[in-house]
Structure 1
Amino acid sequence: MDEKEVAGLISVLILLVLVVVIIVLFTIFVKRKNKLLEEQAKTKEKFEKELAESQIEIREETLRNISWELHDNIGQLMTLAKIQVQSCQDDLKNIDEAAKTIGTALHELRTLSKLINPEALKSLTLPQAVEMEIARFNRLNFITSTFAVEGLPKKIDSKKEIILFRILQEFFSNTIKHSKATHLNVAFHYSGNRLQIFAKDDGVGFLDSSNFSGIGLKNMKSRAQLIHAKLDISSIRDQGTSLRLEYSFY
């Protein structure tokens, strides 16, 4: 075999090796691409599932809130108005008090109508929805609450807003129902491409880590991870519980 034949054979072998390498690389690329697409599909499916669950939980919480407010607040106002109207038979001066009480009840009903109307809820931004929750806590004397916004609010995807609101609603629910707190402070800090949310109560705190699951901490954390937000909840016995939630805009 002369040099030309050897060179030709080597060229053929090199070409075959290159073809094999290309085929292997292409196969790996296709597998990785399919795996990535599969992971993206699973992530999207998980996001949509969590979104649907969050929407259902928000509706359920809203209906519970409406039920409590109708019974505890508006029901009491109407009972008081009835007593005041009945007393007007003896003293007409009480008619003004009755009218004032009925006016207050009507105002509360108008406020409730915003919660009942789903279109009104959809039009609310995250700060507006949280502000409405805080106002309700104060109106019903559940707890003394404050809400502050610092910086220039930025638009958040409506689906992610729902998940963020549900995380906060879960924290608020625990504060109202279990913490025995008297104060709740909530603050939004907008800075650059980042939103930091702080919430703190002065309740009894968690006695041990097992109490975390009782307030749905696992759901809160998994939902935060789903929208690439950082969530930290800390608690000190007899000093309260605090939440720090950081969301980055992309």
Structure 2
Amino acid sequence: MQQQETPLFKKGTQPRRLVAPDGVPASVLLVDDNPAKLAALAAVIADMGLEVTTATSGREALRLLLQRDFAVILLDVKMPVMDGFETATLIHGRPKSAHTPIIFVTAEAGKDSERFRGYTSGAVDYILSPIVTEVLCAKIRVFVDLFYLQRQLAMQTEELQQSKLLLRQLASYQEHIKEEERKRIARDIHDELGQSLLALRIDVSMLHARTRAMHPRLNEKAGEALNHIDTAIRSVRAIINDLRPPVLDLGLQAAIEWQLEEFRQRSGIDCTMQAKDADAHCDLDEKRATTLFRIAQESLSNITRHAQATQVHVELYREGRRLYLRIKDNGVGMADQKKLNSFGLVGMKERVSMLGGELKIDSAPGKGTVLTIAMPLD
């Protein structure tokens, strides 16, 4: 009497189709040495909206896994040459497919020891024949949903990185526009207002000289006017220097030395500077030099307002293809570590980061603050 073959499927309902987040359907790998079973399984899974790839041996499955990723693998246990256990062990032994879920498909429940062997070789589940369509689809759906979630997370991560890059580019462009606008305003003030004040001073100076003997009261008024004009000229020069000091054209070292002297005169704080490899700034482009100058300017301003320091020491030196600017004070330090993430310091870090550099702050209560910037020369 001929033994009746166990049917592969029990009757079930039509499986629900899965929709990929990017429109690209997930791939499922079916491995079985029986072509008829492969065709039947493929027909059911294809109705779920998935892409199906088949292999008739473990070796063929391993070759396919080198070419692409699969959301889940349905693997027959009993196959000639290389059975399902060996195949699963080799699949999870390769880094590319180490975490690919494997579901064993078998017609026999087997012993507990055999099932334990299956789980230890990498299987996440078993499906027994005859297969209930709903059960098969439900188990596949779990792993495909997880695969789609991972893909969606990767897409969102990439979008986030692109958004961060775009924001940095916009911020960099904004800084560029601000510096260009500062230069334009400084140039206009120098060429228009500065020259007008200079011409006015010449005329008033001549008036002051000619009225010295004949018109004492007019001469006195002319002298007062000269003082007012000189004050206005000094104010204009200060504004121009704040917008973009001409000394920056002589290089970063000269600009910072000038800045420190101005800071010392205003604050009375003792300032020293040490520069190594004086030609290092020659390899620094204008954008990076201006950024370092502005950060030094803001740091000195912060020292005046918060540090209660009596000494400031600045170092400018080069190591390899990086230029370092270190600003150290002997002030009260930062007792509140939240200040390290204040708006001003975060803004400094962003401006340095946009140019490929790094900014580090070391501070402790009563031990002062050290701000170190590493800026690439390239």
Q: Same fold (TM over 0.5)?
A: yes
SS in 2 for 1:127: helix
Name the SS of the counterpart of 2:340 in structure 1. helix
Q: CA deviation at 1:41?
A: 5.9
Cα offsets for 1:146-196 (capped at 9, x unmatched): 112101323311112222222222211111111100000001012332211
CA distance in 2, matches of 1:243, 1:236: 12
Say whether 1:148 aligns with 2:274: yes
Partner of 1:51: 176
Distance of aligned partners of 1:119 and 1:200 in 2 relative to their CA distance in 1, 3 Å threshold: closer
**For the residues of structure 1 that align with 2:287 and 2:351, how far apart are their CA atoms?**
12
Indicate yes or no: 2:282 matched with 1:169: no
Identity of aligned residues (%): 25
Q: Distance in 2 between matches of 1:58 and 1:214?
A: 28
Cα separation, 2, equivalents of 1:188 and 1:43:
26
Indicate if the aligned counterparts of 1:200 and 1:240 stay in contact, CA closer than 8 A: yes
Residue 90 of structure 1: aligned partner: none
Residue 357 of structure 2 corresponds to residue 229 of structure 1:
yes
Which one has the largest radius of gyration? 2
Q: Tell me, which stretches of 5 or more residues in structure 1 are unaligned?
A: 1-34, 60-101
Alignment match, 1:204: 332
Return 5+ residue gaps in structure 2 as ranges: 1-158, 185-226
Return closer, same or farther for 1:148/1:56 CA change in 2, 3 Å cut-off.
farther
User: 1:51: Cα distance to partner?
Assistant: 3.4
Q: Map 1:1-250 onto structure 2 (within 5 A).
A: 43-53=168-178, 112=238, 115=241, 118=244, 120-121=246-247, 123-151=249-277, 152-153=279-280, 154-214=282-342, 216-250=344-378
Q: How far apart are the structure 1 equivalents of 2:245 and 2:270?
A: 29
Separation in 2 of the partners of 1:119 and 1:169?
A: 11
- Structure 1 window deviating more from structure 2 (209-218 vs 231-240): it is 209-218
TM-score normalised by the chain length of structure 1: 0.57
Amino acid at match of 1:115: N
Rate the CA distance shift 1:218–1:237 in 2: closer, same or farther, 3 A: same
Give the match's secondary structure for 1:239. coil
1:222: Cα distance to partner? Answer: 0.8
Q: Give the deviation of 1:116 after TM superposition.
A: 6.8
Amino acid at match of 1:190: R
The root-mean-square deviation of aligned C-alpha atoms, in Å, is: 3.7
Q: 2:305 and 2:182 mapped to 1: Cα distance?
A: 16
User: Could you tell me the TM-score, scaled by structure 2's length?
Assistant: 0.39
